[in-house]
Amino acid sequence: MLLNQIDSPADLKKLSIFQLETLAEEIRGFLIEKLSKTGGHLAPNLGVVELTIALHYLFDSPNDKFIFDVGHQSYVHKILTGRKDRFDTLRKYKGLCGFVKMSESEHDVWEAGHSSTSLSAAMGMAIARDLKGEQNKIVAVIGDGALTGGMALEAMNHIGHERKNLMVVLNDNEMSIAPNVGALHNYLSKIRTDKHYAKAKEEVEHLLKKIPAIGGTLAKTAERLKDSLKYLVVSGVWFEELGFKYFGPVDGHNLPQLFETFKQAEKVNGPVLIHVITVKGKGYSPAEEDSHTWHGGGPYKIESGQFIKAVGPPMYTEVFSNSLIELAEQDERIVAVTPAMPGGSGLLKFAELYPDRMIDVGIAEQHAATLCAALALEGMKPVYAVYSTFMQRAYDQIVHDICRQNTNVIFAIDRAGFVGADGETHQGVYDIAFMRSIPNMVMMMPKDENELRHMMKTAVDYNEGPIAVRYPRMNGVGVKMDEEAKPIPIGSWETVRDGEGFAILAAGPQMLELAFGAAELLKSEGIQPRIVNARFLKPLDEQMLMNLYEDGYNILTLEEGTVKGGFGGAVLEFYAERDIYGVRVKPVGIPDYFVEHGSPKEQRQEVGLTPERVVTELKTMLPRKRQRA
Ligand SMILES: Cc1ncc(C[n+]2csc(CCOP(=O)(O)OP(=O)(O)O)c2C)c(N)n1
Ligand SMILES: CC(=O)[C@@H](O)[C@H](O)COP(=O)(O)O
Ligand SMILES: [Mg+2]
C-alpha cells in the first residue's frame, strides 16, 4: 500500500502521477473503511481526495498555508500530514478532531467548523505575509455551499479590491448539505454544464487573439468588442469582475488537469479563483447517489450502505417536524425558514407538504433572521429553524430586526446543549446567555418530547413578539404524547417532584434527568430536594421564586449551557434586583471554556454535570429558616 509510505506531504513528491492516482484510490478505501466504524463527514471527504493530494504535491505546507472552509472536508489533509494512524479515534473523546485543529499539526493553520470564514482568514494571512515581507502561498479551499455565506462575499469584495496574491479553490460539487440553492449556485451550474458555452468560449478566445493590435478609434472599438465578447462567453466573468483571475471549470478528480491548472494559476500576480468540479461522495455509490444523507452520519455497514441506527424514542427534531406540520395544517400563516439545513432541522417532510412555505436561503443565517422579521411584520408566522450554534451568526439581526421591532418570529433552536462529536465549534451552549439578555424575547425549553409539542402550540398562539423553543440533539425520553397540543402559560414553571430545603431548577430533559439522579443519591441521606421543570428561561416564574425564598429553600440551577450569563445568573439577578440576599443560589452549568468533541455523556462528565457533583453542591448549602409561617 502506497498509503503506508505517506507520513508527510514530502513523501508525496516522490510518487509518479500514476502512483498518486493509485494513492487516491487507497485513500478512498481507507476513508470508507474507517468511517464505517467512527462515522463522520464521508461524502465531503471522498470528493476532495485528488484535490487535496494535488495541493500537498504542488505546494509546500505548512510554509504555504491551506485554509479549509468549514473544515469538515479535511480528513484527506489529515491523512497526508501524519495522522492516518489516529483515524480510529475520529471525533471520539480526546481523539482526532473532525475539523482542522492547530494543536494536532503544524499543517493545520486555521480552524473552523462554521462555514464561510476561509476567505477572510486567507486575506488576513495575505496582508500579514506582505507586511512581514514573506513570500509563502495562501490557498483557501471553499465549497459552493460555503460560498453562499455572506462573509465570503464580504471577503471577496475586499480581496478583489486589494488584489492580494492568494488562491481561492472553489470546490463545486453542486451540494451544500442539501442540494445547493440560490442565484450563485445557478450561475455556477451554467458555467459547469453549458458545453456550448465552453465551445463558444474557445472559438471566441481564438478569434480575440486574431484581432491585430491596431491604432486609432478602431483599436478602441476592438478593445470594447473584446471586452463585451469576453463578457458573453468567458466563464467565471462574475469572479473576474470582482478582481479575481478565474481558472476553470476543471475536473477535480483529474490529477494532470489539476496540476496544469494550478501551475498556470501560480504564475498570476493577484487573487486567483480556481473553479474545481467534484463529485460529493465520489467512489462510494451510496454516498454518490445520496450525498445529502451521506454528508455526515454515524457508523454504517459498507456492503449495504445502511447506517447503524440506535433504536429509541423519536429525536426531538422529529417531534418538532411533526408538530410543525400539525400546526401548519391549521394555520396557513406558518412558514419555515432554514439557512441550508432542511434535513438536519427536520423540514424535509414539511417541504414536501408545503413547498411554498419552506424557504431555504442557503448558508445565510443573518439573511434568514431578517427575512423572518419582515415575514412576521407582514402577518406571517415565520418559524426560524436553526441550530443553536449557527444562530450565533445572526445575533445582530435577532436584536436589531426581530426583537427591537417586536416581531412574532418563532425560533426553533435545535442542537441546544452538548452536540457530541462535532465538538467545540458546534456546541449549542451560548444561546441561553445571548438570547435572554434581549428585550421582548421569550425563551422555552421542554422537559420531554410531549412538552415540546405543547411549546410549539404555545409559540404559534403567542402574538406578543419573538418566542424561542430550544431542544437538544437527542432522542426523546419516551413519554406518551397527549391527545391534543395545548398552550402553556408564559413564564410558568412546573414542580415535578416535591421536596424540602433545596430546590433544583432544571432546564431541559438532560438536566431534569440529572436532577432526579442526584435526588436518588440523596434519598439514603434523608435529603429530598424539590425538582422544578424550569421550562421558561425567560421570563422566569417570579411567583415561584418568591415562594421558594419565603419558604426557606436554597436553590441550585441546572443548565446545559454556559454559566456565564446563563439561566442561573438570571435567578441570581432576580433576587439581587429585589435586595433579597438570604437565599443561596448555586448556578451549575458549563464552565467558561470550549468543550471539545466526544459523546454528550463524556462532555457532561468532563464539566461536572453529574449527579455526584449536584449532591456535593447541595451539601455545601446549609438549610435556611422559613421566612413565613
Ligand atoms: C455558519 C454555518 N452554517 C451552517 C453550517 C452547516 N454546514 C456544514 S457543511 C455545510 C454545507 C457546506 O457546503 P459546501 O461548502 O459546498 O461543502 P461540501 O460539503 O459540499 O464539500 C453546512 C450548511 C455551518 N458549518 N456553518
Ligand atoms: C459540518 C457541519 O457543520 C454539519 O455537517 C454538522 O456537522 C451537522 O450536524 P448534525 O450532525 O448535528 O446535523
Ligand atoms: Mg458543496
Query: Which of 68, 116, 363, 413 has most ligand 1 atoms within 8 Å of CB, for mutation?
Result: 363
Residue 23 has pLDDT above 90, yes or no: yes
Catalytic residue among 50, 111, 174, 365: 365
Distance, in Å, from the CA atom of 277 to the CA atom of 50, rounded to the nearest integer, reads 11
Which three three-digit cell numbers place residue 385? 429553524
pLDDT per residue over 340-350, tens digit each? 999 999 999 99
Ligand 2 proximity of 473 Cβ (cutoff 6 Å)? yes
Number of Cβ within 10 Å of residue 521's Cβ equals 14
- CA of 92 relative to ligand 2 center, distance in Å: 15
Distance, in Å, from the CA atom of 172 to the CA atom of 66, rounded to the nearest integer, reads 17
Of the chain, the percentage scoring pLDDT greater than 70 comes to: 94
Distance, in Å, from the CA atom of 149 to the CA atom of 364, rounded to the nearest integer, reads 5
CA angle, 44 as apex, 41 and 45 as ends, to 5°?
A: 80
Instruction: Answer yes or no: is 292 a known binding residue.
Output: no
Distance, in Å, from the CA atom of 438 to the CA atom of 1, rounded to the nearest integer, reads 58
Ligand 2 proximity of 70 Cβ (cutoff 6 Å)? yes
Any long-range contacts for 378-382 (C-beta under 8 Å, 24+ apart)?
379/333, 380/333, 380/334, 380/335, 381/331, 381/333, 381/334, 381/335, 381/408, 381/410, 381/460, 382/335, 382/336, 382/337, 382/409, 382/410
CA angle, 144 as apex, 140 and 147 as ends, to 5°?
A: 65
What interhelical angle do 509-523 and 600-607 show, nearest 10?
A: 60
pLDDT at residue 173, rounded to an integer = 97
pLDDT band at 197 (very low <50, low <70, confident <90, very high): low
Q: What is the chain's mean pLDDT, rounded?
A: 95
- CA of 178 relative to ligand 1 center, distance in Å: 9
pLDDT at residue 232, rounded to an integer = 58
pLDDT at residue 191, rounded to an integer = 84
pLDDT band at 175 (very low <50, low <70, confident <90, very high): very high
Ligand 2 atom nearest residue 425's Cα:
3
Distance, in Å, from the CA atom of 607 to the CA atom of 589, rounded to the nearest integer, reads 8
210 is catalytic: no
Catalytic residue among 137, 245, 282, 393: 393
192 is catalytic: no
Query: Which of 111, 321, 387, 426 has most ligand 2 atoms within 8 Å of CB, for mutation?
Result: 426
- CA of 317 relative to ligand 1 center, distance in Å: 19
Between the two ends of the chain, the Cα-to-Cα distance in Å is 80
Ligand 1 atom nearest residue 47's Cα:
21
Residue 227 has pLDDT above 80, yes or no: no
pLDDT at residue 213, rounded to an integer = 61
Hey, which bits of 522-565 come out as E strands?
A: 530-533, 536-538, 554-562
Give the residues surrounding ligand 1 with Cβ less than 6 Å away. 44, 47, 70, 72-73, 114-115, 143-146, 171, 173, 175-177, 280, 295, 339-341, 363, 365, 390, 393
pLDDT band at 627 (very low <50, low <70, confident <90, very high): confident
- CA of 81 relative to ligand 1 center, distance in Å: 23
Strands 585-590 and 554-562: parallel
Q: Which whole number is the average pLDDT over 558-586? A: 97
pLDDT band at 195 (very low <50, low <70, confident <90, very high): low
pLDDT per residue over 461-499, tens digit each? 999 999 999 999 999 999 999 999 999 999 999 999 999
Residue nearest to atom 21 of ligand 1 (CA): 44
Instruction: Answer yes or no: is 144 a known binding residue.
Output: yes
Q: Select from 319, 367, 317 the least CA-distant residue to 339.
A: 367
393 is catalytic: yes
Residue 207 has pLDDT above 90, yes or no: no
pLDDT at residue 236, rounded to an integer = 82
Q: What is the pTM of this model?
A: 0.95
DSSP 422: T
